[in-house]
Amino acid sequence: MGQSYLRFWGVRGSHSAPFDTHLKVGGNTSCVEIRDRQHVLICDAGTGIIPFGESIMDEQDINELLIILTHYHWDHICGLPFFLPAFSADWNIRFFGPGYSAKDIETHISAQMRAPYFPVGTETWLANINCLEPTNTGITHGPISLSYKNVHHPGLTYGYRITVAGKDVLYVSDNECLYLKKSVQQEFAHLNDEERTLYNEMQKEEHGMELKLLEDADILIHDAQYTSEDYEKKKGWGHSCYVDTVNTSIDAGVKELYLYHHDPHYDDDAIEQIHEHAIQIIQHRRSSMKCHIAREGLTVEL
């Protein structure tokens, strides 16, 4: 393994899926490690952060981490109560995520670790823990730099652009693509001509913002939770249909796409079918974009 890489520790959305029919793709919830030499960045703290924490404890030359959170839904933070480095005195861990202040971030992180939901609170964490203040100027972690934007998901949710080893890696775990377009299509019959013109323009603007968020990513890790059939039932839940993820990524000039945040109801075969169809869409559009399934344990050299 090289000095700079990313590794998927958890790839599921919503809840873990520890079923033998699902384990070729993986059962843990969101967690991706991005590393440049000894500098380690963790994206989200779902159950995938638990095996990551056990693994990193064996590396004697690392005792610092930056953990960035897209938001505070359970599948993105529920590994923290079992995250070994937090309970070890010789570790320095910085957190960043949506919030009005560092204190606000700290409150969100610690809220799940209290009685009666958990036997001990974050006061039992022995590591030196710091939450970062919101910033407009970006965040650095050694040679890794990152910025964030608001995305289409319930509450404050961030998508991150991470510059590492000369590449732009985008981590957008939860994002509902083309939402306004679909809402306008639903309501079109009830709108008058003036409103149709207005909303057509508005959806173009919103799509332009979506493309700007993703544009020219070397690697995009993006929400692809639903099939078209399931999305019809779950529009407005804050997740994308993989077809929209693929098409939007092509439009944004993404070089390599990892379909991520898989629905826990989809077994390995179902996700293979999603991948096959995604490849067909890319070929049909004559795009050179590469597309992969994010799988637990998969390591990508940067």
Partner 1 sequence: MLMGESKKIVVIVDNSPSVQSLIMRGTQGLDIELKSFDSAEGAWDYLQSNQPDLLFLGVLMPDKDGITFLKELRDSALHKDTSVVMISSKDYAQDKIIVKELGALDFLTMPMPISAVTNMAEKYLS
Contact positions vs partner 1 (CB under 8 A): 100, 134, 136, 149-150, 152-156, 179-180, 183-184, 187, 190-192, 194-195, 198-199, 201-202, 205-206, 209, 212, 236, 238
Nearest residue (CB) to partner 1, 64 versus 206: 206
* The two structure tokens encoding residue 57: 């404890």
Distances (CA, A) of 156 to 53, 105, 114, 222: 27, 12, 23, 17
Would you say 107 and 77 are in contact if contact means Cβ atoms under 8 Å apart?
A: no
Output 136 or 288, the one with its CB closest to partner 1: 136
Q: Which residue, chain included where needed, has tokens 């939901």?
A: 117
- In the complex, least distance from residue 21 CB atom to partner 1, rounded to whole angstroms: 31
Q: What minimum distance in Å lies between the beta carbon of 205 and partner 1?
A: 5
Q: Which is nearer to partner 1, 91 or 179 (CB)?
A: 179
Q: Write down the least CB distance from residue 113 to partner 1, Å.
A: 21
Question: Rounded to whole angstroms, how far apart are CA atoms 42 and 52?
Answer: 9
Cβ distance to partner 1 smaller for residue 116 or 155: 155
Q: Smaller CB distance to partner 1: residue 157 or 287?
A: 157
In the bound complex, what is the minimum distance in angstroms from residue 122's beta carbon to partner 1?
23
- Residue (184 or 257) nearer to partner 1, CB: 184
DSSP 190-217: GS-HHHHHHHHHHHHHHHHHHHHHHTT-
Smallest gap from residue 200 Cβ to partner 1 (A):
9
Find the shortest distance in angstroms from Cβ 224 to partner 1.
19
Pure H helices in 70-178: 74-77, 102-110
Helical spans, DSSP H, in the chain? 49-56, 74-77, 102-110, 179-187, 193-214, 228-234, 242-251, 268-284
CB-count burial class (<10 Å; 0-12, 13-18, 19+) for 235 = middle
Q: Tell me which amino acid residue 171 is.
A: Y
Query: Cα Rg for the chain, rounded, in angstroms?
Result: 19
The nearest distance, CB 71 to partner 1, in angstroms, is 10
156 or 279: CB nearest partner 1: 156
